[in-house]
Structure 1
Amino acid sequence: MTAYDRIRFIGYPIPTDHQTEFAVGNVGNMMVGTYLGDDDLHTDVAKRVAVLSHAVTTAKALLPSDEEPGSVLNVFVAPEFFWHGTQGPYVFQPDERDPAEVILEAVDAAFPAEDFADWLLVCGTVISTQVADRHALWAEPSIDVRNDTVRALTEQYRKASGAITSLVYDMLRGFVVQCHSYPNVEVRNRSIVLSRVPVDGVRATLQATLLTTEKYYDSNEDFLLYDVTGRRDVITEQMTAYPILDLTGGDDKRDPRDPYAIFRHVYGVDDHADIGVEICLDHADNRLRRSIASPAWPVKPDGLHLHLLPSCGMQLTRDGIAAGVGGWAFNCDGEYAIAGDHPTGTPTAGSPNGVTSIYTDVVSEVSAHYSGHTQLARVTSAAQGGDPRDLASRSASYETLDADIATVHPVTALDDLGSVFAGGPGALHIYGLTSPLPFSRTPASAD
């Protein structure tokens, strides 16, 4: 097996936010709008595969033509919520095929091994929910109570001014949070991962090329509060909860489709790369950092070689990065620009959230409402301990990178793009296009 000594990161921060009329609140925004897509699962998946394939092949055409096969690992990441339907999550019944399996099969066909041998693709995430009887679900009285209450509070919030504004918003947010404790549906939010290098677990032999990891932290903005078109058969934020995830036995994969986040590229005897795919708000809960510091980790916790973060509303945090010395953390987001209301789309060196890094925003050609970003950091001193509040712990420190390692490349809009993505075609952000970055896999002590 080829042992890569260089790596390249390719982010595709296409805005994956809902087609939104307005955001509600200034902190932990909740959203009102409509879900774009096609009512037929296979048609919807085909449209999104076309968008993804167009971006990946555009990126591939930019790579140096004389690059030696097996010398550079190309890591491609798309944002959270790349895959969803007109009801929010893809809603399917027990006798129907899991939408994630449909997508994995389609992605596998779109990127054949002979053409993408040196690629690891994190193709965003898919949201889905299994419901035994759709008609019974929409007839459930509590759904009307939840949705009507939220809509009334939202409308009053929009009318309010002065001190009462925050009071109404707190009522709204508190109601939604409480509803998460009494959900109507369990929604799964899974990353779609295609690795042309066969993947193992840290402790299990899998030899898989298709896998998923899963999110457990439901934010206040993963789903709409209500659909502005009047459609009522949609999954709203106040209806949902994500599955509980037991991490007491570790976060390393035992099966390609299990919910765990950490897997391994094995390149040869004593030569491997440990990789974690952590989805959006789980990063704010320090999921991967806590996992590698836990007693369940099978060896001394030296950190990951690659910490990958697909998101729709998150960036790298100083306390959350779980990469070891020489390891990389890479985030691709489909919701906001790190620079705030004035994104430039130009690669920038800085330390947002205390993470010394390079970040690049997306400037939407459709509306200023739609944004996104990518962010790359390299660890020089690994985090110690899983709990940043512990006085004996310390968070990672980072190398100062040159913004010149990042380049921005346009993506043309496919004719049918607007039926599935509201914010335009996004852009490609490539870190290490002509001069790939070092890929060190030497285990590094957390001391």
Structure 2
Amino acid sequence: MKEFTYTNVQFIGHVLSTTPLLKESVEGTSDWGIYLGLQNDNDDINARLKIVSDVLRQAVSTSNISNDSSTLKVFALPEFFWRGIKGAYFYSQKENDEMYKKISDSLINIINDIGKQYDFSNWLFLFGSILTTSDEAACQTSMDDILSKVGDDYLRVYSILKNNAKANSIPAISKLLKIADKKINAENDYDQELSNLLCDILNMSDGLADKNIYNRCFVYYSQNPKAIQKEFKSKEDFILNNPAVSEGTVKHYLQTMVNYPSVSAAGNPVDTLTYSAFNCGGLNIGIEICLDHKRKRLLGYLSEGSIQQQLDIQIVISCGMQLMKDSAATRQGGILFNCDGEYVLEGDAQNGDCCHSQLKTYSYDSSCGPMLSDNIPAAYVTKVNYTAEAEQNMYPHGLGELHIYAPIRVK
């Protein structure tokens, strides 16, 4: 029988909306909007670090965290917690991602500082995702200039269609993007046709884009840092429009202009865990970022033998994803957790304001196939106690909630 150092796991999610802010959306979604943040990247990072520090202090001050050393505590933030006002943090030397290093080193300092009064030796931290790049947002070639206009042009055409159509006859762009990402099914042929058109436009842009942005989750356990890198770019990861005041000026990273480098690509300045899985106190743990879960990244690694054993725990941090039974890579009775920053799930999640967390268990039956349990509700939910105005305005719906779950047995 397999022996675990940890017999239980407890999840603590800082659940908040991490989408861009709406500006002049034609239909009430973040696809026509702006990134939130402070003008100076270093100031922006320091403000977000202060939020993390305060949230961690609030979490450990409650009576809801197990102090049992056989219980692994998992603290998670959603995708896009760290991206700044341009959509990604810029670093100047390709071989040295000083922005990722500044954030990760500072997070370790926070853990060490709070650790003077509180024992974090049995905590696993997933600090959301950090977006960094050494490619400037500003246009440098004629192709960059063309790609910077693609999103605006599509939105102008969409706006004309929307304004001249009968009420509710044109679907929201967010819906079209979800259909393109195969997150939801089209209700009619017209929705599918519009989604296909948008998908073709964005696929064309992906084929031409030459600005690479890393989307990584900083993971920390027992003085051991790791980086999990996102592989697949969603159709919703960046804003479509160019919010620059001057026509033709580009100061932001746009959906049409950027790609994610392959996890296996050379030149990555951060040591990355290729197969997104590791052992933690005797538990096999795998982490996926948003669309990677839908694309069955961990399950694919398991099927091809890159991961030798089924996972005990599978964690998904996201901004627009939920747990999916066909993407589960856990063993019978395995545990799955999701911390999301985009939407609510009626009756199937612990919901916040435009965000959610999920905790489920996995089972497989030869007659029914893979199955996930009903959502296990959080044991304790509380708003984040933070009043500084600048930090409150860094996320579109405020600083969200703490979702603290009861310890669950690792079978």
- Alignment CA distance shift 1:169-1:400 (3 Å): closer
Residue of structure 1 aligned with 2:229, choices 205, 208, 214: 214
Q: Which runs of 5+ in 2 are unaligned?
A: 172-189
Instruction: Tell me which amino acid in the other structure corresponds to 1:240.
Output: V
Conservation of the 8 A alpha-carbon contact between 1:188 and 1:214: yes
Of residues 296, 300, 310, the one that matches 1:286 is: 296
Higher relative contact order (CA 8 A, sep 6+): 2
Contact residue 379 and residue 405 of structure 2 kept, 8 A: yes
Any residues of structure 2 matched to 1:346-425 within 5 Å, and which?
A: 348=347, 350=348, 359-363=349-353, 371-381=354-364, 395-399=369-373, 403=377, 406-415=379-388, 416-425=390-399
Q: 1:190 aligns with which of 182, 204, 216?
A: 216
**Percent of paired sites with the same residue:** 25
Taking the TM superposition and a 5 Å limit, the aligned residue runs for 1:13-412 are: 13-21=15-23, 31-64=31-64, 68-94=67-93, 97-112=97-112, 113-114=115-116, 115=118, 116-131=120-135, 134=136, 137-160=138-161, 161=165, 170-196=196-222, 209-228=224-243, 230=245, 232-246=250-264, 257-266=272-281, 272-298=282-308, 301=309, 303-339=310-346, 348=347, 350=348, 359-363=349-353, 371-381=354-364, 395-399=369-373, 403=377, 406-412=379-385
The structure-2 alpha-carbon separation of the partners of 1:169 and 1:159, relative to structure 1 and needing over 3 Å to count, comes to: farther
Q: Secondary structure at the match of 1:278?
A: strand
Residues 159/41 of structure 1: CA separation in 2 closer, same or farther (3 Å cut): same
Q: Contact 1:30 / 1:225 at 8 angstroms: preserved in 2? A: no
Q: By how many angstroms is 1:37 displaced?
A: 1.4
**Cα distance change, pair 169–24 in 1 and its aligned pair in 2 (3 A):** farther
Secondary structure of the equivalent of 2:241?
strand
Distance 1:129-1:19 versus aligned 2 partners, 3 A rule: same
CA contact (8 A) 1:278 1:309 kept: yes
Q: 1:11–1:164: structure 2 CA closer, same or farther, 3 Å change rule?
A: closer
**Residues of 1 paired with 2:332 and 2:5: CA distance?**
18
The 1:121–1:395 alpha-carbon spacing in structure 2 relative to 1, beyond 3 Å, is farther
Cα deviation per residue 1:42-64 (whole Å; 9 max; x = unaligned)? 22111111111222221111135
Look up the SS of the partner of 2:207 in the other structure: coil
Contact 2:144 2:209 in 1 (8 A): no
SS of alignment partner, residue 274 of structure 1: strand
| Residue aligning to 2:182 | none
For residues 275 and 318 of structure 2, the distance between their equivalents in structure 1, rounded to whole angstroms, comes to 17
Q: How far 1:187 moved relative to its partner?
A: 1.2
Q: TM-score, normalised by structure 2?
A: 0.82
CA shift for structure 1 position 72:
1.9
Distance 1:245 1:326 in 2: 30
The whole-number CA distance in structure 2 between the counterparts of 1:304 and 1:394 is 21
- What is the root-mean-square deviation in Å for CA atoms of aligned residues? 2.9
Question: Where does residue 177 of structure 2 map in the other structure?
Answer: none
Contact 2:341 2:356 in 1 (8 A): yes
Residue type at the aligned position of 1:360 = Q
Q: Secondary structure at the match of 1:238?
A: coil
1:439 equivalent to 2:400? Answer: no
CA drift of 1:150 comes to: 2.2
8 Å CA contact retained: 2:17, 2:396: yes
Tell me the number of residue pairs that the alignment of Structure 1 and Structure 2 aligns: 371
Query: Aligned equivalents of 1:172 and 1:68: distance in 2?
Result: 50
